[in-house]
Chain A
């Protein structure tokens, strides 16, 4: 055949590089980009761009459906390899902990303040109401969470709950329980339900504050305030902060949905959702730290002074972390 179609000639000329890219993408899909040889990694972007340009040309000049579909799929696969998650998992985690998370917390400080305000308002309400009528404790604190503690418990048994006995399986059990306990669920639910307009998030934060306030009132009425806070704060500083962070994330989502600003609702939600997710995933990490403190430290150390010292240390640590970490790079970007 002397006269060949332009599109056939185009294909004959480029087919070799398509096949080469296909082989590379195959290998990368099966064993990861890291498994490719150095010169293959260097070839990849050039071949990828070549495939994209082939695709554009093929769309313009070729009516061979198979070729166009093949190039669509080849370009898409190569795109996923070239533009997939860009970094290594370890790098991503380091970048997250050192830069993204503290930066997101600083950027969303007003939401954080609002979430904290809701929790504090709940706590104040719970405290005031339970102090004026101890029976209200039952209205605020669920059966499972109270674990038998209540206005009818003796002062001695309330005190005993603050100094749990030391025991090896106890560590693991408490740690595990803490992870799945009330606060973690509240935190994740507060974030997830932000999608429902933020109202459930606010309610959850407030209700969680009520529980805290009710306990504070109960122990206060027995003159155990100092010891309660010594028990609560070493892990509570971290844990409550984490819950507030999740709540702030939920509020961000709610705001994006109800007041989308200039963007379309869904677009606003997806932009702000990513910022909010940074808060929530960081909060999960903080809940881990809190779980470790609660499971191990609290059972080993019974001295009130030491407990307060640790609580203060954690408060200082988080403050320094959130105000300081990753600042240099933000400044460089601004300049």
Chain B
């Protein structure tokens, strides 16, 4: 169950303009870095595409290195400045890297993602990414003639900028703070069969008393749902173990095999708990006590 708990910690609720809260999962830092590297790679490829014919041209016309240098500077500048905002505007909050890693930029307050927000979050890249990198690799160009201590302090300050996403729960970088945006996982879930509906038509369906059903709560119900839905090797053994445990706990005597028994128990338990929930008496888990 640890997986479920972990995603819950990364869930954030946005309230749509219609007033309904919907949940998103905040993109993990690793995915963000992956998407960034992919985008940088694409920018590099773009520059190469511009440069190769230029080098050929310069070699053919003996125009010298000036043309190549100028072309390179121009290409880097244009691609670096406009790649991110262009794609995030045109593809609704996704760049090719983000699309590949299934990430998406959304407005943190639930409104539409506005053009200014996209521009704002991408304008700070210079201060966030380039400056710390330059300061790390060769401090000379960033803070010339500064004394050693000042340089160290400046470097720490710049690194705090760059590494800000690691210091907050929402993985916000400076640009996200400015723009009020949030990078989330592209939501995806598949609608599976309803476990309660797929009941055998025979009359030998196990039945349970309310006392038997009141042993468990919503948490246990949803763990049972997960156990029934999982498609992994060793599923049969897991079902047997769970079924044996439940039979013992509720004192149920009957001939049914593990899976039909569990499905029947799931349906009955869900019916009971949903009924209680409708009456305003949610039973969260087996430790829950009615007041």
Q: B-contacting residues of A (Cβ < 8 Å)? A: 1, 4-8, 11-12, 15, 18-19, 22, 49, 52-53, 55-56, 60-67, 69-70, 72-77, 79-81, 83-87, 89, 92, 95-96, 100, 142, 169, 172-173, 175-177, 179-180, 185, 188-189, 191-193, 195-196, 253, 266, 269-271, 273-278, 280-281, 284
Complex Cα distance, B117 from A23, in Å, reads 29
Contact residue among B22, B108, B118 (Cβ-Cβ distance under 8 Å from A55): B22
Q: Determine whether the beta carbon of A189 is less than 8 Å from that of B197.
A: no
Q: How far is the CB of A200 from chain B (nearest CB, A)?
A: 9
Binds A, one of B26-34, B85-93, B232-240: B85-93
- The minimal Cβ–Cβ distance linking B90 to chain A, given in whole angstroms, is 5
The A-B contact count (CB < 8 A) is 218
Task: Looking at the assembled complex, report how far the CB atom of B37 sits from the nearest CB atom of chain A, in whole angstroms.
Answer: 21
Given the contacts A84-B93, A173-B70, A270-B180, A61 and B119 also touching, CB distance less than 8 Å: no
The answer, among B64, B187, B205, for a CB contact under 8 Å with A76, is: B187
CB distance from A34 to the nearest CB of B (A): 11
> Is B126 an interface residue when CB atoms closer than 8 A count as contact?
yes
**Interface of chain B, main secondary structure:** helix
Q: Tell me the residues in window 124-183 of chain B with beta carbons closer than 8 Å to chain A beta carbons.
A: 124, 126-128, 131, 144, 157, 161, 174, 177-180
Contact of A83 with B111 in the complex, beta carbons under 8 Å? yes
Q: A72, A95, A280: which has the most chain B beta carbons within 10 Å? A: A72
Contacts beyond the supplied A83-B112, A278-B116: 6 A-B pairs with Cβ under 8 Å: A73-B187, A84-B92, A85-B114, A196-B161, A270-B179, A281-B123
B126 touches A188 (CB 8 A): yes
A206 to B117, CA, bound (A): 29
Q: Which of A61, A70, A189, A269 contacts B126 (CB 8 A)?
A: A189
B93 touches A85 (CB 8 A): yes
* A22 to B189 alpha-carbon distance, docked (Å): 10
The answer on a CB contact under 8 Å between B225 and A191 is: no
B251 to chain A, nearest CB (A): 24
- Which of A5, A19, A86, A142 is within 8 Å of B112, CB to CB? A86
Partner of B117, one of A5, A80, A253, A274: A274
Contacts A64-B195, A278-B119 hold; do A273 and B180 have CB atoms under 8 A apart? yes
> How many angstroms from the CA of A40 to the CA of B86 in the assembled complex?
27
Q: Which of B113, B127, B174, B196 contacts A64 (CB 8 A)?
A: B196
Q: Which of B38-46, B242-250, B273-281 contacts A (4 or more CB under 8 A)?
A: B273-281
| A7 to B, closest residue via Cβ | B274
Q: Which residues of A contact B64 (CB under 8 A)?
A: 169
Q: Please provide the 5 A-B residue pairs with the shortest distance between their CB atoms, ordered closest to farther.
A: A192-B127, A277-B120, A273-B178, A270-B180, A84-B92
Chain A hits for B123, CB < 8 A: 188, 191-192, 277, 280-281
* Nearest CB in chain A to that of B145: its residue: A142
Question: By DSSP majority rule, is chain A's interface helix, strand, loop, or mixed?
Answer: helix
B41 to A: closest C-beta gap in Å: 22
If the complex has contacts A172-B71, A193-B127, are A75 and B178 also in contact, measured as CB distance less than 8 A?
Answer: no
| Interface core residue of A8, A62, A84, A196 (most chain B CB under 10 Å) | A84
Please, could you name 9 A-B residue pairs with CB atoms under 8 Å apart, sorted by A?
A: A6-B278, A61-B274, A63-B221, A75-B20, A92-B89, A95-B115, A172-B74, A276-B120, A280-B123
- Asked if B92 contacts A85 (CB within 8 A), the reply is yes
User: For B118, what are the chain A residues with a Cβ–Cβ distance below 8 Å?
Assistant: 85
Q: Does B84 contact A (CB under 8 A)?
A: no
A57 and B114 alpha carbons, distance in the complex (Å): 30
Residues of B within 8 A of A284 (CB): 81
**Known: A83-B16, A169-B67. Contact between A1 and B201, CB under 8 A?**
yes
A63 to B113, CA, bound (A): 32
Q: Which of A15, A180, A275 has the most CB of B within 10 A?
A: A180
Asked if B189 and A72 make an inter-chain contact with CB atoms under 8 angstroms apart, the answer reads yes
Contact B199 A1 (CB under 8 A): yes
Q: In the complex, what residues of A have CB within 8 A of residue B271's CB?
A: 5
